[in-house]
Amino acid sequence: MSGYVGKDELGQWECASCGIALTFTQVEVRYMGSGYPVDLPVCSKCGQVFIPEQLALTKMAEIERLLEDK
């Protein structure tokens, strides 16, 4: 899912709190007891994860619907 923010674009993104560049890190996204690993931009200092709007509105929303229908 890291295709939503290209590694070449990542240099443009900084943590709003810490002011340092974000780096791709594998995080576990959890919802309703289910989880899956995703590579997302993360602040290496405070751990804040950046979830791109396109990812939240498409793939994550689809997974949310599937889990709620179970």
- In the chain, domain spans: 2-69
How many CB atoms sit inside 10 A of residue 70's CB?
Answer: 6
Amino acid 57: pLDDT: 75
Residue keyed to tokens 């229908």: 69
- Residues of the chain under the 70 pLDDT cut: 1-11, 56, 60, 63, 67, 70
pLDDT computed for residue 8 by the predictor? 60
pTM of the entire structure? 0.65
Q: Residue 4: its pLDDT value, please? A: 54
Tell me yes or no: is domain 2-69 CATH 3.10.20. Answer: yes
CA dihedral 61, 62, 64, 68 (to 10 degrees): 140
The contacts of residue 18 (CB under 8 Å, 6+ apart) are 43, 45, 46, 48
* pLDDT number for residue 2: 44
State the pairing for strand pair 22-31/34-43. Answer: antiparallel
